[in-house]
């Protein structure tokens, strides 16, 4: 019996607050689990019992004092306030005509057991989700969620994938990277992936189907690319930045394209490291480097979901997950994402 069906209305819930701004890798002491009252609902509001939460590298950027882009993407998490993040859950109580008790929703108020969400709150990104035996709620944080969509539009829009492109993808065993590898393979491309351990490299090749993969900790990225793509690459899907980007700029063929998706190698740095030393390669080879946020291509989300549902049904994509159990495991989980202890999409399951 679901919590909604039982009619149970919680009086208290736990949430995780940021209590100190991390320096470098977040520590467990930077977070506190706090018990709060569940408020009475006002007009238009829903009470959601979160069941799964997404852990995303960009959360680290939001823990910093400095705001990356004021008023827009990645607003800062405030101290002694709950952290947010994508979550899915079941509606326990509703004062909104659009959402009934027992409905399932996606929203932006994770890192807490119970969320009060309103369709009028644009920051909440509230969206109804269709949950069934084939499509459990957490799929909307995974294969049908933002990271998989990021892989899709990163390849098709930002990198303008063209027939015959040789594609290099960093962070290839992670949530976004593993989808990018599989989508590029489904479209018939030669794919090279990089990851941080031998086990992940084996996974990228054997399970995700990359043609070649290497461990970036084993030696210079440039050497690995030269060995695996002696004729060069056409597209680089960058999840990492730093040495990876520099090596890719050298390996790209004339007219090549880079989808600047993320820069995880820099997120814990106190001072952003200098950019690639060889940007002139972009001039000389007429390269295109395009930064993007998946939401910039929101208009393609339905098309993406239809394609992904088909691939899932036909067993043509896999979507591995790393799951942390219980709200209090979230800080440990976000550390794990930076330590590379995750494979595929990293989620927290709330009992
Ligand atoms: N543009 C957008 O709209 C958008 C949307 C979602 C995500 N992103 C970006 O996409 C990237 C991947 O995000 P995700 O959610 O899919 O996370 P993820 O890949 O599932 O997890 C992060 C992975 O990054 C790797 N990593 C950590 N530190 C690294 C370092 N210093 N150098 C190289 N690799 C490192 C680790 O794998 P290894 O063991 O292989 O090191 C780790 O598993 C991030 O940069 C994120 O910010 C962008």
In angstroms, rounded to a whole number, what is the distance separating the alpha carbons of residues 208 and 125?
31
Surface-to-core class of residue 124, CB atoms within 10 Å of its CB (0-12 exposed, 13-18 middle, 19+ buried): buried
Question: Which residue has 């992904």 as its token pair?
Answer: 308
266 close to ligand 1 (CB < 6 Angstrom): no
Mean pLDDT to the nearest integer, 206-223: 98
Instruction: State the pLDDT at residue 4.
Output: 64
pLDDT exceeding 70 applies to what percent of the chain? 97
> Tens digits of per-residue pLDDT, 244-301?
999 999 999 999 999 999 999 999 998 878 889 999 999 999 999 999 999 999 999 9
Residues 147-185: tens digit of each pLDDT = 999 999 999 999 999 999 999 999 999 999 999 999 999
Name the percent of the chain in helix, strand, coil, to the closest 5: 30, 25, 40
32 beta partners:
17
Cα 11 to ligand 1 centre (Å): 37
53-80 mean pLDDT: 88
Mean pLDDT of the chain: 95
pLDDT tens, 104-129?
A: 999 999 999 999 999 999 889 999 99
Confidence at residue 5, expressed as pLDDT on a 0 to 100 scale: 58
Residue whose CA is closest, atom 31 of ligand 1?
A: 265
Nearest alpha carbon, ligand 1 atom 37: 340
Query: Which atom from ligand 1 is nearest to the alpha carbon of 261?
Result: 1
Q: Is the CB of 342 under 6 A from ligand 1?
A: yes
DSSP for 322-351 reads: EEEESGGGHHHHHHHHHHT---BEEEEE--
């Amino acid at each position: 019996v679901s919590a909604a069906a039982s009619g149970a209305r919680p009086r208290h819930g736990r949430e995780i607050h940021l209590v100190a701004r991390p320096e470098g890798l977040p520590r467990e002491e930077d977070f506190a689990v706090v018990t709060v009252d569940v408020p009475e609902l006002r007009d238009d509001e829903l009470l959601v019992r979160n069941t799964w939460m997404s852990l995303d590298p960009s959360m680290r950027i939001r823990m910093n004092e400095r705001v990356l882009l004021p008023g827009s993407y990645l607003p800062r998490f405030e101290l002694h306030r709950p952290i947010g993040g994508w979550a899915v859950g079941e509606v326990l109580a509703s004062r909104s005509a659009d959402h009934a008790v027992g409905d399932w929703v996606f929203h932006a108020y994770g890192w807490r057991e119970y969320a009060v969400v309103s369709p009028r709150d644009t920051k909440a990104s509230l969206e109804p989700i269709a949950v069934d035996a084939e499509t459990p709620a957490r799929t909307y944080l995974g294969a049908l969620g933002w990271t998989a969509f990021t892989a899709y539009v990163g390849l098709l829009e930002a990198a303008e994938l063209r027939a015959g492109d040789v594609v290099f993808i960093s962070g290839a065993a992670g949530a976004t990277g593993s989808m990018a590898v599989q989508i590029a393979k489904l479209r018939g491309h030669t794919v090279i992936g990089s990851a941080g351990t031998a086990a992940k490299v084996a996974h990228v090749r054997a399970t995700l189907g990359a043609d070649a993969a290497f461990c970036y900790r084993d030696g210079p990225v440039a050497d690995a690319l030269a060995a695996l793509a002696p004729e060069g690459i056409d597209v680089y899907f960058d999840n990492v930045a730093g040495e990876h980007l520099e090596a890719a700029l050298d390996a790209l063929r004339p007219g090549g394209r880079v989808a600047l998706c993320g820069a995880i190698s820099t997120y814990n740095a106190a001072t952003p490291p200098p950019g690639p030393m060889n940007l002139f390669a972009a001039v000389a080879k007429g390269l295109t480097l395009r930064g993007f946020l998946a939401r910039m291509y929101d208009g393609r989300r339905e098309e993406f979901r239809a394609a992904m549902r088909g691939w899932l049904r036909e067993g043509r994509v896999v979507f591995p997950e790393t799951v942390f159990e219980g709200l209090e495991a979230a800080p440990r989980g976000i550390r794990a994402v930076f330590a590379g202890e995750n494979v595929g999409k990293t989620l927290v399951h709330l009992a």
